[in-house]
Amino acid sequence: MTTPLLLLVESNTTGTGRQFAQRARDLGAVPVLLSADPARYPYAAEDGLRTVVVDTSDDAALWAAVTGLAAAAPVAGVLSSSEYYVATAAGLARRLGLPGPSADAVRACRDKAAQRRTLAEAGVPVPRFSVVGEVAEAIAAAQWLGGPVVVKPVQGSGSLGVRLCRDRDEVAEHAKGLLAATVNERGLRTPGVVLVEQYLTGREFSVEVFGEEAVVTVAKHVGAPPVFVETGHDVPAVLPAAQAAALVDTAVRAVKALGLGWGAAHVELRLDGDVARVIEVNPRLAGGMIPELVRRARGVDLVGAQVRAALGERVDLTRRPDAAGAASIRFLTAGTDSVLADVSAAESAARAVPGVVDAAFYRPAGTRVAPAEDFRGRVGHVIATGTAPGQSAEAAGTALALGLASALTPVAADVPVREAVPV
């Protein structure tokens, strides 16, 4: 009998992309990466992953590649770990009669303007917002909202293009730049509108939902404005009962209102007093190594669950009693233009901290790095576990400060920095 295929449409460049392929193999399927440029994913060559070069933005070319593969071996599932291709994968799964979310719902969800309107109409709490297509409209929206506002693209991930604007000039400048872009960071066409929204100052969280079940609530750490770089996560979040319930209830309501309810959804929220307001719903697994934290803290393998769901197999989200209980990650970012020195020694120092289970740099010694504007500016991470979130958070913070950060050496501001990693 021919081994079934799991088709992976593009991938994320960091985090879970490699794990999708590994889980497929564990479940007896052959992972096949469909990509316009497989070289952008180093793990593909390192792991001997089967790849097919195809223009994944061309529906006809992609369908021809898929049907060609299906003629030689049964296709058992289609997925993408990339924010930019989840709707494409969902559409292919539907055409093949395979499990997956509604492609229309995923496509609408990826448009943050359409998502906001749908949630607001359903009575799900969101920040006040306006969708604009001109700089003058952005300025007017900011005046209507009052105070600092967040201006951001209606598509994208990893805080790319998201910025706090404190006055008219900042709104105009950032909106002008976003509206002038005709393609995004993946070379895909942009819709020509941006979001101007109320700036919420409450704590930020995410609720990881699978199907219509909340698996865990994550406490998120975000760097200083005007950018919103995620600098760490703690699993599980520690909250008063009323706030914890509000976050879970709002997240699940949002998923249902958007017509999702299949597989993973990463719901980002901020507390506004005791009200949980949805910042955005992502119809995919979380990034930022959150699935790895959930696996270590709860024993729930969300990557494996997503692959199982795509293959039509039973998914078990039961917490394992032998899991650590809590897990935290902290990302290294540079406070000023810097160069990475002895990364091996810094990693070793981080790993020596009790509770640390992983420490890694994303770039080699000698690389020049700048302060982060989005997730691409993060240069390394540490992960720690413990019996409680406070314990894992303390270990991760100590390892970051005394370990990884020791590799950053400030350099003159006019020294060129290494290009950001691709998305």
Catalytic residues: 284
Cβ density class 220-250: b for 16+ within 10 Å, e for less: bbebeeebbbbbbbbbbbebeeebbebbbeb
Burial group, residue 181, by CB count within 10 angstroms (0-12, 13-18, 19+): middle
Closest residue by Cα to residue 260 from 42, 101, 118, 85: 101
Strand-strand pairing, 5-9 and 30-35: parallel
E strand or H helix at 32: strand 30-35
Q: Nearest 5°: phi and psi at 383? A: -125, 135
- First CA to last CA distance, the chain: 37
List beta partners, residue 369.
338
Angle of helix 343-351 relative to helix 389-402, nearest 10 degrees, comes to: 150
129-132 β-sheet, strand order: 129-132, 194-198, 149-153, 163-165
